[in-house]
Amino acid sequence: MPIQPLLDAETAARNMAEKEPRYAPQEALIEANRCLFCFDAPCIMACPTGIDIPSFIKKIANHNLTGSARTILTANVLGASCARVCPTEVLCEGACVVLDLEGDPVKIGRLQRYATDYVFDRHIDVLHAPAKKNGKKVAILGAGPAGLGCAAELAQLGYEVTVFDKKKAGGGLNTYGIAYYKMRPEVSLDEVKMIERLGVKFQYGVEIGKDISVADLEKNYDAIFLGLGLGGANRLGIPGEDLPEVVDALDFIEWIHTKPLHEVPVGRRVAVLGCGNTAIDAVTQSKRLGAEVATIIYRRGEDDMPAYEFEYELAKNDGATFHFHTIPTEVLAENGHVKALRLAKTEVRDGKVQVVPGSEWVEEFDLVLKAVGQEKQTNVFTRLFPSLKLDRKGRVEHNPETMETSVPKLFVGGDCANGGREVVNAVAEGKKAARGINAMLTKQKVEGPIQPSRHGAKNGNTGSGFDHPIRVPELLAAMAQ
Amino acid sequence: MADLSINFAGIKSPNPFWIASGPPSNTAYQCHRAFEAGWGGVVWKTIGDPIVNVASRYSALNLGGQRMVGFNNIELISDRSPETNFREIKECKDRWPNHAVIASLMVDTRERWHEFVKRSADCGADGIELNFGCPHGMCERGMGSAVGQNPDVAETIVGWVMEAAEIPVIVKLTPNITNVVYAARAAKRAGADAISLINTINSITNVNLDTLTPEPYVRGLSSHGGYCGPAVKPIALNMVQSCAADPEVNLPISGIGGIGNWRDAAEFIALGSLSLQVCTAVMHYGFRIVEDMNEGLSDYLDSKGYKSVADFSGAAVKSLSDWKYLDLHYKRVARIDYDKCIGCNLCYIACEDGAHQCIDLVDSAPYGLGPGRVPGKPVPKVREEDCVGCNLCSIVCPVDDCITMVEIDTGRDKMSWDDYQTRLAQGQMEPIPAHP
């Protein structure tokens, strides 16, 4: 049987409601007042984009919401989506000292959302590009978080920036690939519009190498940023893999973002292969869209799974089930549609996961979602840029300070450079690449973090020309005598 | 069990906790509720010639989510008739004969004072409090703080009162004065039996940045209100102790100003109060707060071996002296407990930008991972040789007992500023070098 939508519109909307709704003003004030306003705070250090978190929270407490959003968005142009999708538990909130003090960190993500919602709701632009451009042009390949991070930064530096993407809208996985209960696609699309207002041009439906050649790009632009992310799901290499109900988990999530919720087809019995964070997003949303059974099938054990602990908890609370140490060996069909999976237990032998002989069984499923990691676009990259060097894992080799690649004038960032990390890492790398591009085109050197401490301690003398007398060693020595 | 009852200048009260003159002591209904809740006394809302009040009347200072850290009002004295007030005082006294009911009075002429003093005694009030402190409205009519701010005038009026008084007279002092001790001495000279302080402080709590008119708002205008609540406690403690320490004053003191719990109360008693008056905290939470006050104070007195409130009263008065007697050779420094430190570095930036630059941010390596869970994060380290022992870091530190101020034995004898000046004059020592 082909799969069908299972829920009416109202139930689907209720099940997919936002996990963490926006704070009411007083909630935000109470939470903001929990922040200790640390100096050179650990949360800043834990943020890949180095948002000055204590400052933006202090501004919320002081009723300066526009200023708060400015602090956030100058450091991280996708601050609104990161507020919703960042694994704050392991980043800023994991480093929050209030966690040590009270056992519960300041809810930085939700406060960040509160401040950024304020300016997006009111169409207040806190970022501005100079009216006079510097005459230099940069092409950005891919309108995902890395590309947007790079584009926004360059636009603010006076560059003319054009972003190319083969999809119909920008935002990349922020628009198409985030669990619906974490973030609505509109948030990501609003961010793209904000970047458009910085003067960045977007060309959608364009595939590089097909609709526009790399040679043309190289001729017409002073620099190119490669932010094409990763490809489709890895192949399983088992019989039945090409049946219509064996779907890439990210494609399933994209359906959720491009169709009305009650028109998204979902299986009654869904198998999700893999146990990373995308697998969790797939299993929870299957349940929320009406699946009776949604099961994660993972070849290793509970302790090995790449999903964050809090994501695992979420899936368990949603009623997902888990088959650990289990591997699919065949997708079984009936009338050309998925009917079941043949599964087998696994064990680790000689350091490798191996099937336990004779442990096979058959379990009925009508939808199989693949979340076993995304392919590297190795072929695409080498076809577009034959001299581009990739590392052994298929990631684009780059200078970590400038994000320059082995190809002249070509910079990189995001999943294709880091192999697949968080949105916030992609934004940070895009921004870093913008700094590298600007340095190359203005013949400057770059070093240090992309968002150095704004008010924090600097090493050694601050350069003011004043030494505090207490610290002048000669005086100290004189006093000691 | 310590004896909480007091005899305050002849006014007997089952415990030292009185409702201060104000909105909570406006009616017999409230007075009765207060006594039921456990209050020892009530100072009636000030009785005088009829006035008319405005709407609105109160405003507050909120801080970091904490409401009513400070509070102000432009409400005048009782807007009920003297007849009603005196009748209700009598009703309360009839029902609660062993509790203290004190009539707060504010009138203008000698004759009116005599009349109101007599009527107070006639209705059975245990004492009289003279409101020489109200800083809004009434002072424009030559009463309230207009009296309290001029010790000569205050002395004259207390004199009038004493001519007619048959029950104890408490003079309530205004803090809106250069030195409250002069006003206290004036009360003493005129024969008052006790003083109470502080009344409220002239204030504007905040400005509405949309209307540009502060609260309390009265059709386009506001007025300077009397400030009270937790924020004024340090000012009140200072004034109470100043009066308690002054040999010329030597009167029982009823402490007022920001008292909200037994600890506040104990501090006021330690600095010389015998009875305590509470208004703002009751306006915030109701009469029920007295339960903790009675319990907490009783347990505290027991734990310290004091037999009664009077036994404890003034125990800390002598712990304050003029600056010139403080020991210049005493040294204490800040020590950070790295097992408790959470790595907020507030101590560092407070010392660096706000004090004496004696804390460095250093590599955490010698201290293990250091505070917090971010490896490589620098940790604050006090340079004890430079630390001036100012307390700031230990004050800003959000973790209890993380930064302690540790006494360092300098091996030097006590030397006060006075001693220092003497030794310099006698050529016994060289001047101490100036700080770099």
Determine whether the interchain pair B346/A36 forms a contact, defined as Cβ–Cβ distance below 8 Å.
yes
pLDDT per position as a tens digit, A359-417? 999 999 999 999 988 888 888 888 999 999 999 988 999 999 999 999 999 999 999 99
Question: B366 vs chain A: nearest CA distance in angstroms?
Answer: 19
Asked if B369 has any chain A CB less than 8 Å from its own CB, the reply is no
Sequence-separated (6 or more) residues with CB below 8 Å from residue A216: none
CB-CB neighbours of A466 under 10 Å = 8
In terms of domains, do B272 and B300 share one? yes
Same domain, B75 and B123: yes
**Whole-angstrom distance, CA of residue B102 vs CA of residue B104:** 6
**Distance from the B387 Cα atom to the nearest Cα atom in chain A, whole angstroms:** 10
With CA atoms as reference, the chain B residue closest to A474 would be B436
Residue B84 neighbours by CB under 8 Å, 6+ apart: none
Per residue in A302-332, pLDDT (tens digit) is: 999 999 999 999 999 999 999 999 999 999 9
List b or e across A253-273, with b for residues whose CB sees 16 or more CB atoms inside 10 angstroms.
bbbbbeeebbebbbbbbbbbb
Q: So what's the pLDDT on residue B200?
A: 95
Tell me whether B64 touches chain A (CB under 8 Å).
Answer: yes
Residues B392-419, mean pLDDT to the nearest whole number: 95
- CA-to-CA distance for B53 and B131, rounded, in angstroms? 18
Is the CB of A40 less than 8 angstroms away from the CB of B436?
no
Count CA within 13 A, CB hemisphere, residue B169.
27
Note the pTM of the prediction, 2 decimals: 0.89
CA A366/CA A348 separation, integer angstroms: 29
CA A466 to CA B433: how far, in whole Å? 22
From A89's Cα to the closest Cα of chain B, the distance in A is 13
Total number of domains in chain B:
2
Same domain assignment for residues B310 and B337: no
pLDDT attached to residue A31: 97
B372, A472: Cβ pair inside 8 Å? no
Chain B residues in contact with A38 (beta carbon < 8 A): 343-346
| Residues B2-8, mean pLDDT to the nearest whole number | 96
| Residue B365 Cα, gap to closest chain A Cα (Å) | 16
Rounded Cα gap, residues A42 and A97, in angstroms: 8
In which domain, by residue range, is B159 found? 6-317
Query: Would you state the structure tokens that stand for residue B147, as one six-digit string?
Result: 């009296």
Per-residue pLDDT tens digits for B187-208: 999 999 999 999 999 999 999 9
For every residue of B345-409, DSSP letters joined together read -HHHHHHHHHS---EEEE-SGGGTT-SSS-TT--EEEE-TTT----SHHHHH-SSTTTEEEEEE-
Please tell me which of the candidates B345, B358, B399 has its beta carbon nearest to residue A38. Answer: B345
User: Looking at the structure, do residues B280 and B332 belong to the same domain, yes or no?
Assistant: no
Judging contacts by C-beta atoms under 8 Å, the chain B residues touching residue A39 are 344-346, 348-349
Contact A33 B386 (CB under 8 A): no
Is the C-alpha dihedral spanning A317, A319, A325, A330 positive or negative?
A: negative
The residue type at B199: N
Question: What average pLDDT does chain B have?
Answer: 94
pLDDT at A182 over 70: yes
Q: What is the ipTM of this complex?
A: 0.87
Task: Report if residue B1 sits inside a domain.
Answer: no
Query: Residue B237: its pLDDT value, please?
Result: 98
Q: Do A97 and B343 make contact, defined as CB atoms within 8 angstroms?
A: yes
Are residue B47 and residue B169 in the same domain, yes or no? yes
CA distance A206 to A213: 10
Q: Are A11 and A3 a contacting pair, CB within 8 Å?
A: no
| pLDDT tens for each residue of A18-58 | 888 999 999 999 999 999 999 888 898 889 999 999 999 99
Q: Do B342 and A97 touch (CB under 8 A)?
A: yes
Q: What is the pLDDT of residue B73?
A: 96
Return d(Cα B90, Cα B101) in angstroms, integer.
9
CB burial of residue A59 (10 Å; 0-12, 13-18, 19+) = buried
Q: What is the pLDDT of residue A40?
A: 82
Same domain (yes/no): B339, B299: no
Could you tell me the CATH number of the domain that includes residue B342?
Answer: 3.30.70.20
Count CB pairs under 8 A between chains A and B. 65
- Angle formed by the axes of helices A108-121 and A25-32, nearest 10°: 140
**CATH code for the domain of B246:** 3.20.20.70
Asked about B134 being catalytic, the answer comes back as yes
Same domain assignment for residues B178 and B306: yes
| Cis peptide, bond prior to residue B378, ω within 30 of zero | no
Nearest CA to A114 out of A85, A84, A89 is that of: A84
* Given B31, B92, B123, B134, the catalytic residue: B134
> Residue A461: is its pLDDT beyond 50?
no
Structure confidence at residue B261 (pLDDT): 97
b/e per residue, B174-199, with b = 16+ CB within 10 A?
bbbbeebbbbbbbbbebebbbbbbbb
Is some CB atom of chain A closer than 8 A to the CB atom of B294? Answer: no
Whether the upstream peptide bond of residue B198 has omega within 30° of 0, thus cis, is: yes
pLDDT band at A463 (very low <50, low <70, confident <90, very high): very low
Query: Closest by alpha carbon to A436, among A221, A196, A225, A144?
Result: A225
CA distance A90 to A109: 12
What is the pLDDT confidence band of residue A467, given thresholds at 50, 70 and 90? Answer: low
Do B40 and B144 belong to one domain?
yes
Mean pLDDT value across residues B37-60? 96
Q: Is the model's pLDDT at A472 over the cut of 70?
A: no
Beta strands in A121-198 (DSSP E): 137-141, 160-165
Provide the total of helices (H) and of strands (E) in chain A, helices listed first. Answer: 20, 14
Please tell me the class of the A9-121 domain.
Answer: mainly alpha
Q: Residue B423: what pLDDT?
A: 95
Point out the domain boundary residue: B271, B292, B317.
B317
Q: What are phi and psi of A25, to 5 degrees?
A: -50, -45
A46: which chain B residues are within 8 Å (Cβ-Cβ)?
A: 374
- The answer on pLDDT for B367 being more than 70 is no
Of B41, B50, B189, B49, the closest CA to residue B129 belongs to B41
Mean per-residue pLDDT over chain A, rounded: 91
Q: φ and ψ at B89, to 5 degrees? A: -60, -45
Residues linked to residue A344 through DSSP beta bridges, in sequence order: A327
pLDDT of A470? 57
Both tokens of A230, joined, read: 């990763």
Of B317, B332, B359, the residue at which a domain comes to its end is: B317
User: How far separated are the first and last CA of chain B, in Å rounded?
Assistant: 55
Which CATH number, 3.50.50.60, 2.30.42.10, 3.40.50.300, 3.40.50.1370, labels domain A137-231+376-442? 3.50.50.60
| B63: in domain | yes
User: What confidence score (pLDDT) does residue A458 get?
Assistant: 47
Dmax over CA atoms of chain B, in Å, equals 80
**Contacts of A166 by beta carbon, 8 Å cutoff, 6+ apart:** A204, A205, A206, A207
DSSP label at residue A4: B
Judged against a pLDDT cut of 80, whether residue B426 lies above it is answered with: yes
Residue B135: what pLDDT?
74
pLDDT value of position A83: 97
CA angle A435, A437, A441 (to 5 degrees): 115
Tell the burial category of A185 from Cβ atoms under 10 Å away from its Cβ (0-12, 13-18, 19+): buried
* CA quadruple B338, B340, B343, B348: dihedral, nearest 10: -70
Residue A481: list chain B partners with CB under 8 A: none
Q: Give domain status of residue B435, yes or no.
A: no
A472 and B386 in contact by Cβ < 8 A?
no
Structure tokens at A448: 């240090």
pLDDT digits (tens, 9 = 90+) for A60-115: 999 999 999 999 999 999 999 999 999 999 899 999 999 988 899 999 999 999 99
Burial B72-105 (b: 16+ CB within 10 A, else e): bbbbbbbeeebeebbebbbbbbeebeebbbbbbb
Position B251 in a domain: yes
Q: What band does B105 get if pLDDT is binned at 50, 70 and 90?
A: very high
Gap between the Cα atoms of A347 and A383, Å rounded? 39
Give the chain A residue nearest B356 (alpha carbons): A470
Of B290, B317, B344, which residue sits at a domain end? B317
Give a yes or no: residue B432 inside a domain. Answer: no
List chain A domain ranges. 9-121, 137-231+376-442, 246-370
Q: Which of B206, B342, B364 has the highest number of chain A CBs within 10 A, making it the mutation to test binding with A?
A: B342
- Pick the residue from chain A with its C-alpha nearest to B358: A470
Query: Quick one: average pLDDT of A261-290?
Result: 94
Task: State whether B261 and B341 are in the same domain.
Answer: no
Domain pair A137-231+376-442 / A246-370, same fold: yes
Of residues A30, A101, A468, nearest to B342 (C-beta):
A101
pLDDT of residue B114: 96
Cα–Cα distance measured from residue A209 to residue A3, given in angstroms and rounded to the nearest whole number: 36
Domain-embedded: residue B430: no
Task: Point out the residue among A30, A95, A476 whose CB comes nearest to the CB of B372.
Answer: A95
So what's the pLDDT on residue B139?
74
Please state, in angstroms and rounded to a whole number, the distance separating the CA atoms of residues B51 and B41.
25
- Convert the pLDDT of each residue in A379-388 to its tens digit: 888 899 999 9
The letter for the amino acid at A97 is V
Q: Which of A165-179, A444-458, B287-301 has the lowest mean pLDDT?
A: A444-458
Which residues, in sequence order, are bridge partners of residue B226?
B73, B202
Helix (H, G, I), strand (E, B) or coil at B253: strand
Asked if residue B344 and residue B312 are part of one domain, the reply reads no
DSSP code of B204?
-
CB B208 within 8 A of CB B22: no
**Pair (B418, B361) in one structural domain:** yes
What's the rounded Cα separation, in Å, for the pair B421 and A322? 82
Say if domain A246-370 classifies as CATH 3.50.50.60.
yes
What are the DSSP E strand ranges found in A121-175? 137-141, 160-165
Q: Are B167 and B268 members of one domain?
A: yes
Q: Is some CB atom of chain A closer than 8 A to the CB atom of B191? A: no
